[in-house]
Amino acid sequence: MISLTSRVNTRTLLTPEKSSKFVCVNSESIFFAKVKQIFTESIAPLYGSQDKAINQIYESTDRTCELLLDNADDPKGILVYKNALQDEFADHGIKNSLEIKTLMVVKPKENSGKGFGRQLIERINDIATEKVSDGIHVTVSQNAEGPKTFFEHFGFKTVMEWESRYAKGVKEYLLFKSV
Ligand SMILES: CC(C)(COP(=O)(O)OP(=O)(O)OC[C@H]1O[C@@H](n2cnc3c(N)ncnc32)[C@H](O)[C@@H]1OP(=O)(O)O)[C@@H](O)C(=O)NCCC(=O)NCCS
């Protein structure tokens, strides 16, 4: 039988001078059900079925999912990024870059404006530095209000835009920031 402690991912990173912390989540984590709930309840209504994304986090072969928890272990933010640095957009000058798959405050209506978004950005900056990446990139959709200007606030610039890459009639933007 697997003990509860062995199922908890021990990579817990306390954010200095804050009562919140980041935990890595995969199939063995006690927080996996929370991640599934966030994708189903908060992200699927914006982007459609998240079954594939949930499964990719469950397997965690090519990506890492981290949850930002408050001192009651209540999730306040979610971060998913690719483990390997990417050259997919080398033609656009984006090489050796950390790809953000998801960066979102959980229940934004309740939790936005409280500094959780900043903590997510600071965490991804730290990861980019740890991985010695040249930069960080992310794709955002016109559908989701807020993320594009949020990333721009933290120095990301639009490198490319697509008219209907993800969904017909919906603009998508490739944003990049040097590290
Ligand atoms: C966009 C989002 C990450 C912002 O998080 P937040 O917790 O409200 O941000 P914070 O309170 O930490 O704010 C940090 C700074 O960013 C600024 N900011 C917050 N949201 C912003 C926005 N939409 N545009 C521009 N700046 C923004 C704040 O004014 C603050 O500025 P400061 O430097 O003066 O302190 C959050 O609202 C969210 O996740 N929304 C859902 C968006 C979504 O659909 N994401 C899917 C993408 S995968």
Average pLDDT over residues 21-41: 95
45 Cβ closer than 6 Å to some ligand 1 atom: no
Q: Ligand 1 centroid vs 105 CA: distance in angstroms?
A: 8
* DSSP characters over 2-39: --HHHHS---EEEPTTSS-EEEE--TTSTTHHHHHHHI
Question: Tokens 């062995």 appear where?
Answer: 6
**16 C-alpha to center of ligand 1: Å?**
20
Residue 43 confidence class, pLDDT cut points 50, 70, 90: confident
Domain ranges for the chain: 4-178
| CATH ID of 4-178, from 3.40.630.30, 1.10.10.10, 3.40.1390.10, 2.70.170.10 | 3.40.630.30
Element spanning 45, H or E:
helix 44-47
pTM: 0.89
**153 close to ligand 1 (CB < 6 Angstrom):** yes
Atom 46 of ligand 1, nearest CA residue: 104
Pocket test for ligand 1, best of 105, 154, 166 (most atoms within 8 A of CB): 105
CA distances from 132 to 31, 97, 129, 144, 178 (A): 29, 9, 5, 30, 11
The pairing of beta strand 75-82 with beta strand 63-69: antiparallel
pLDDT for 159: 96
pLDDT (tens digit, 9 = 90+) per residue, 151-163? Answer: 999 999 999 999 8
Q: Which of 9-13, 68-72, 124-128 has the lowest mean pLDDT?
A: 9-13
pLDDT score of 10: 41
